[in-house]
Copies of this chain bind each other. A is one copy, B any other.
Amino acid sequence: MSQTVDRALSILPLLAQGPADLGQVADRLGVHKSTALRLLRTLHDHGLVYRQQDQRYRLGARLFALAQEAVENLDVRDVAHPHLVTLNEQIGHTVHLAVYEESEVLYIDKVESRYPVRMYSRIGKPVAITVAAVAKLLLGDLPEHERRAIADKLDYPMYTSRSTPNAAAFLKELAAVREQGWATDLGGHEESINCIGAPIRGAAGRVVAAMSVSAPNVVVTAEELLTLLPLVRRTADAISREYSGSGTPH
């Protein structure tokens, strides 16, 4: 693995948190200023990093363009989006679409709730992997040894009293989810928010994405939310059919 490139790439997440000047970058990389300068210059030449008027660096437009390309390659999103909108029109709550990649679960699409009380989430943000319904669906479909390896490596933060406490409980939950073909998160991340989710499968039957519907307690109770499960599953199945029907990507 290339040290120079490794250092250069470490700058990107650092700048994503906000602009930083040369000294800060050098410090956080643990390298000399001149080294950081050369790395930043190279990133700059490629447009991934931009230098604002006060000389601080931030992420550049090129990165956004690339990100755009990257997400277009995730073509599940194209197929799913209209279905998600339709579902949102029917039930009103927030609808999410997520994928698993490289030990992370990311939201890649979202349709906002029509209700004034909304849950906080962000497209592109890694999901709370140990509790989210979509995470359980995506991880649950992995081969047994991978599931175990991932479960062992994870932390299990107790967001609430109902969060998944440890690897054993998580694996058990994954098995249950895999078996039943849907998942929930009842107050496991935020005490007052419930979630139900269903898997989206590709042509080979593998889970390629997962969708979920989230709503706060104050809008609907968990029981009421669960009555929507058949509708959510039908939507997920419709997306699966369309996605696997269209055949090969690109």
| B-binding residues in A (CB < 8 A) | 1-2, 4-6, 8-10, 12-13, 15-19, 38-39, 41-48, 50-54, 58-74, 78-79, 82-83, 99, 101-102, 104, 106, 108, 122-126, 203, 242, 244-247, 249-250
Contact = CB atoms under 8 A, between A and B. Distances in A.
23 contacts: A2-B4, A2-B39, A5-B5, A5-B42, A9-B46, A13-B69, A17-B69, A44-B249, A50-B102, A51-B250, A53-B79, A54-B82, A58-B74, A61-B70, A61-B99, A61-B244, A61-B245, A63-B66, A63-B67, A65-B124, A65-B125, A65-B126, A66-B124
B2 A73 contact: no
A70 B125 CA distance: 11
Nearest to A15: B70
Number of this chain's copies in the assembly equals 2
Contact of A125 (B17, B68, B102, B244): B68
Given A42-B1, A43-B5, A125-B65, A73 B51 contact: no
B245 A18 contact: no
Given A6-B46, A60-B70, 6 more contacts: A1-B41, A2-B4, A51-B249, A53-B82, A59-B66, A69-B124
Nearest to A35: B2
Contacts of A69: 13, 16-17, 59, 124-125
Contact of A65 (B4, B47, B106): B106
Given A70-B59, A242-B52, A39 B106 contact: no
A99 to B, nearest CB: 7
A69 B14 CA distance: 11
Given A9-B42, A83-B53, A60 B101 contact: yes
A1 to B, nearest CB: 5
Contacts of A203: 61, 64
A68 B107 CA distance: 11
Contacts of A19: 73, 78, 250
